[in-house]
Amino acid sequence: MCTDWFKTNQITNNIYSIDDNGDNIMYLIIGNEKALLIDTGWGVGNLKEVVSKITDLPLIVVNTHGHPDHVSGGYQFSDIYIGEDDIPILKGCFKLENRQWALNNVLKGPYTEEFSSEQWLHSKLGNIFAIKNGHKFDLGNKIIEVIELPGHTPGGIGLLDREERILFSGDSILKGHIWMHLDHSTSLSTYLSGLKKLELDINAFDTILPAHGTSFKSQMLNKLISDIEDILYGKKQGTTHQTFCGEGLLCEFEDYSILYDGSKL
């Protein structure tokens, strides 16, 4: 039995990280009128209760993308915002056969005492709202802006806090494996295009907080763009690599690796 599934950490006066049993990281941003929760994790522990112990403000819940390790706790909340093109992926994560597969093959215990696999398997989402590039969430004294980052998934987004100078990047930009080999991942060229658009606004943030791994400085974005261009121009080529979600070509760099589909350049 696990008694401390979540680990919270205060990053700034208004931002908390919530570690989902070491698998992924969610973030809570506190305004003076509302709070915003980025991702809902696996939904094993009582995330809603964890958030309520930090703030009692009205809560906005936003998913960076539709994968199960980021959306499976969505059933604990009435309303969910997500990039429009990831809505089918989000809904697919709540199909019984997909949740059963995740429970059997991906989700790691030991679980919390109150966790019920049957309840988790049959949990349902509430209202889903689509968001697009430039959407702004008003928390009262701060605005959180949606940045479209298609690549890992077609509707992946980042969230930009200009006041704190932080970009929350989900799985779109991180240290470690950047998965671009999935069936629904975009081409590398589409991914690169989104990163270049983000680069135009790079002076708006100093720090990137990903959903997996450690934070890093915004300058890594410049290097990531250059490395993807090297793949596209044939200067770098990956080697075959197998994952539980299929095979791809793995190209390793200093701070991260890119796993991509050679037929989608």
Query: Domains, the chain, ranges and CATH?
Result: 6-175+200-218 (3.60.15.10)
User: What's the confidence (pLDDT) of residue 229?
Assistant: 98
Distance CA 102, CA 29 (A): 29
Res 74: pLDDT: 97
- What is residue 83's predicted lDDT score, i.e. its pLDDT? 98
Q: Positive or negative CA dihedral for 256, 190, 98, 18?
A: positive
Give the model's pLDDT for residue 81: 99
**What is the predicted pLDDT for the residue at 109?**
77
> With the C-alpha atoms ordered 68, 71, 75, 81, is the resulting torsion angle positive or negative?
negative
Confidence (pLDDT) at 90: 97
pLDDT at residue number 3: 47
pLDDT, position 113: 83
Q: Which helix (H) or strand (E) holds 209?
A: strand 207-210
CA distance 250 to 263: 14
pLDDT on residue 85: 98
Beta bridge partners of 249: 240, 260
Amino acid (1-letter code) at residue 161? D
| Spans of the chain, pLDDT less than 70 | 1-3
Find out whether 153 and 86 touch, Cβ atoms under 8 Å: yes
Going edge to edge, which strands form the sheet with 59-63?
6-10, 15-20, 25-30, 35-38, 59-63, 79-83, 127-131
